[in-house]
Amino acid sequence: MKPHSAAVQRVTPLMFSVLLAAAGLARANTIVVRDAGALRTALRDLKPGTTLTIAPGEYPGGHAVAEVERLTIEALDPRQPPVFKGGRTGFQFSRCADLTLRRLRISGQSVNGLNIDDGGELARPVTGVTLEHIEVSDIGPTGNHDGIKCSGLDRATISNCTIAGWGGQGIDFVGCHRTLITGCRLIGKKGYSASAGIQLKGGSSEIVVENCHFTNAGERPLNLGGSTGLPYFRPQGARHEAARLIVRNNTIEGSPCAAAFVGVDGAEFTGNTIRYPEKWIFRILQETREPGFAPCGNVLIRDNRITFHRAHVRTDINIGDGTAPETFRFESNHWLAEDAPQASRPTLPVDEKGGVYGTITTNAGPTAVRAAPSPYPTPYRS
């Protein structure tokens, strides 16, 4: 045992020195910001690996950061996040790999709340972006102005964020891949045009959207695909707006439809709760018509709970031309026309396997069927 003890005694001083050096480096790379002037100075002098902790208070928006890796910006006090007000964009980050934003509030921008992109280098995605507990509100209010816009990201995570009031999309993905959106809330507001809640387009693939809550979140709360100019696809040469998407265990309330499948080639829409869409339940569309593009199709819709009013929903699935609705699969969904249970069975493009009509079965058993007004009137009805 003595040789082992001697070795420990020899290593311990070295380890202690290394720990002291690491602690000093950590302190050197952490900057505490308490006012707008200190924020401007800190943003000018960023180094890779810096952590900015920002004190409570109101700060101006309109900041841009480029090519700083392993940057973290977070609230000094998680109970009182700093608020970034106004400007064209709250923050724009270009080519900032391994960026982490945590517990920030961004509000009142005219273009986008938060913009994270690849700097236009379409073949070099930015990896490792993490957004946690970000609140974005009052963006636009009309036109194509997004709460959170992401272009050319790979392996990103957006968790527990809230977006309330936007002109274009609450969260807009253009050419993003292998990314998770989880636990987010998207809330539409009167006076904001809000074309979509979450949009995944421009060649996006392998995206999971789970455990999110949509309340009147635009014309299309989930726009799975979309319409993108060919120069903006990532990767270049992709022949689908989106592919291999998973949308699971979300709650979607109000809006003209629950989800639109738009030029997507392969998606799973499972375990979601849909309440009171105002015009359609789903839409199947093809907006990108360039030669060689896959028609919208290969979608599984399974194990969803769908409550609607037959007085509002006359057409269950809105199907546009140039699509492949025959490749959709419907399995084990529960459909309830609350005002007319006998008219609950939807008209679908293919036969459903194992569907349940006229009740919504949960772990507690079937719901009581009674007519009631929708608690989610929508300003987006067309």
Q: Which CATH number covers residue 214?
A: 2.160.20
**Residue 326 domain-assigned (yes or no):** yes
**Residue numbers of the chain with a pLDDT score lower than 50:** 1-9, 11, 15-27, 368-382
Structural domain boundaries, residue 169: 33-366
Burial 226-255 (b: 16+ CB within 10 A, else e): bbbeeebbbeeebebbbbbbbbbebebbbb
Residue 343 domain-assigned (yes or no)? yes
Q: How far does CA 380 lie from the centroid of its chain?
A: 20
Do the Cβ atoms of 165 and 139 come closer than 8 Å? yes
Determine the pLDDT at residue 380.
31
Q: What's the pTM value of the predicted model, to 2 decimals? A: 0.89
Is 202 inside any structural domain? yes
7 occurs within a structural domain? no
Q: Is 227 inside a domain boundary?
A: yes
Our count of domains for the chain comes to 1
| Within-domain flag for 9 | no
pLDDT of the residue at 360: 79
Asked if residue 23 belongs to a domain, the reply is no
What does the pLDDT look like over 17-65, one tens digit per residue? 444 444 444 445 999 999 999 999 999 999 999 999 999 999 999 999 9
The reply to whether 382 falls in a domain is no
